[in-house]
Structure formats: C-alpha cells, structure tokens
Amino acid sequence: MKQYLLSVHGTFDDMPPPELMQQMFDDVDKVNQAMMAAGAWVFGGGLTDPSDATVVRVEKGQPMLTDGPYVETKEQLGGFWVIRANDLDEALDWARKATVACQAPVEVRPFQDEPTA
C-alpha cells in the first residue's frame, strides 16, 4: 500500500462561528473514525494559527530562526492526514469525504517510494 498526504488548506482571516467550527470538528472526527475502521489511518492532526510558526532556515551556513509563517499568503496549511491507500483513486475517495467534513480544500499527494535495497 502507498501512503498519501491529505493536506487541508484554508484561510485564517475569516474563522467560522463556534457552532459551525464544532460541527466541522464532529464531522472530521467521523471521517477519522471511518479511516481508522478501514485501516487507512496512519496519522493526522490540525495545526494552530500560522502566526504560531517558527521558521528555521540556513543563512551563511548557520541555522536562523524567525517568526512564521514561512510564506506570506492568504491560504495556509490548517491540518493533514497521512493515510494508506491502494492507489490514488482510493486516496481521492478519502479526500472527498475529508473536504466535505472540514469544509476546506484538501490536496492529495503521494509520498515518494522508498528505495529498495
């Protein structure tokens, strides 16, 4: 089985009201439970506000730390799942459920294949 990253993208400018946020959390939990029951779940989680980020980069050969986010953009990564799926079509089926649950775009990307020894 291949592993896929399902990443949730959204804006943090216009957060929904608390009752809608709670509904989204409940719906995402249902998708999480379905993934676990199907054996697709590897790991997942939501992220805090992009302003909480710290960026570590190399400048003149030395690691430098700066306040985040790394990219100044309206849309940011809000959370993610790592799943196991037989193929891209199966991963896309999970992404369809995930995007409805979290009401945000979900990008699907396969992990690189591990080199064989």
Give the pLDDT confidence of 3-18 residue by residue, as tens digits: 999 999 887 677 789 9
pTM: 0.87
Class of domain 2-110: alpha beta
What is the model's pLDDT at position 69?
80
So where are the chain's domains?
2-110
Nearest to 102 by CA among 3, 5, 7: 7
* 73-100 as b/e: b if 16+ CB within 10 A: eeebbbbbbbbbbeeeebbeebbebbbe
Residue 68 confidence (pLDDT) above 90: no
What is the token pair recorded at 104?
A: 């945000």
Q: First vs last Cα of the chain: how many Å apart?
A: 18
Q: For tokens 């509904």, what's the residue?
A: 23
Output 117 or 95, whichever has higher pLDDT. Answer: 95
Q: Dump pLDDT digits (tens) for 82-108.
A: 999 999 999 999 999 999 999 999 999
| Total residue count of the chain as it appears in this document | 117
Strand partners, 108: 6
